[in-house]
């Protein structure tokens, strides 16, 4: 899945910034999808991640 353009979904972005810049999550589960134009989009993965367990 080689590409030059990668973008985060709004859900993934809010999950990363949920606790602010000082305490980002160590690990998150993601789902990566490549669309027809060749862009790669990162979505939150299925199931619970460890970061959401501690919140």
Successive 10-residue mean pLDDT values, the chain, 55 residues: 89 94 93 93 81 51
Per the structure, the count of domains in the chain is 1
Would 1 be classed as within a structural domain?
Answer: no
User: Is 37 a domain residue?
Assistant: yes
Task: Print the domain residue range for 28.
Answer: 6-53
Answer yes or no: is 15 within a domain. Answer: yes
Residue 27, domain member (yes or no): yes
Regarding beta strands 6-8 and 40-44, do their DSSP bridges make them parallel or antiparallel, or are they unpaired? parallel
Task: State the pTM of this model.
Answer: 0.72
On whether the CB atoms of residues 18 and 55 are closer than 8 A, the answer is: yes
């Amino acid at each position: 899945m080689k590409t030059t353009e990668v973008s985060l979904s709004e859900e993934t972005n809010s999950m990363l910034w949920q606790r602010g810049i000082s305490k980002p999550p160590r690990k998150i589960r993601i789902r990566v999808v490549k669309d027809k134009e060749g862009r790669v989009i990162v979505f939150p993965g299925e199931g619970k991640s460890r970061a959401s367990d501690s919140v």
